Amino acid sequence: EIVMTQSPVTLSVSPGESATLSCRASQSVSSNLAWYQQKPGQAPRLLIYGAYTRATGIPARFSGSGSGTEFTLTISSLQSEDFAVYYCQQYHNWPPLTFGGGTKVEIK
């Protein structure tokens, strides 16, 4: 099973600043990585797939990078609606499909 590790667990950022979230895989997942955003009481929403391709309707301030075992989600100029929990998910080697533990982006 591929273990996904996200860091930091919590990230405190001021509105307008950028945020960098990390996701590490226990073995290579190539570019088979997705990012999701989840707000309290809501379902997860797809942000990025294929490590860097934005999903339909996702603003350009969200960008993904990386391949192999190290991935980054960058949110530039954070807006109020961006404060949420973010999860990475690998779909390279499954079952099982595995998610990271999440990074909570909170207002500083």
Partner 1 sequence: VQLVESGGGLVQPGGSLRLSCAASGFTFSSYAMSWVRQAPGKGLEWVSLTGSSGGATYYADSVKGRFTISRDNSKNTLYLQMNSLRVEDTAVYYCAKRGLGGSGSPNWFDPWGQGTLVTVSS
- Looking up tokens 């595995």 gives 98
- Looking up tokens 């797939």 gives 49
Q: How far apart are the C-alpha atoms of 31 and 40, rounded to whole Å?
A: 28
For residue 13, state whether it binds partner 1 (rule: CB under 8 A): no
For residue 99, state whether it binds partner 1 (rule: CB under 8 A): yes
Can you read off the two tokens belonging to residue 38?
């989840």
Q: Give residue 64's Cα distance to chain centre.
A: 8
Can you read off the two tokens belonging to residue 42?
């809501």
Out of 13, 28, 55, 76, name the contact with partner 1 by CB under 8 A.
Answer: 55
Q: Which stretch binds partner 1 (CB under 8 A): 11-19, 38-46, 62-70, 72-80?
A: 38-46
Decide whether 16 or 96 has the Cβ nearer to partner 1. 96
- List of residues contacting partner 1 (CB under 8 A): 32, 34, 36, 38, 42-46, 49-50, 55, 87, 89, 91, 94-102
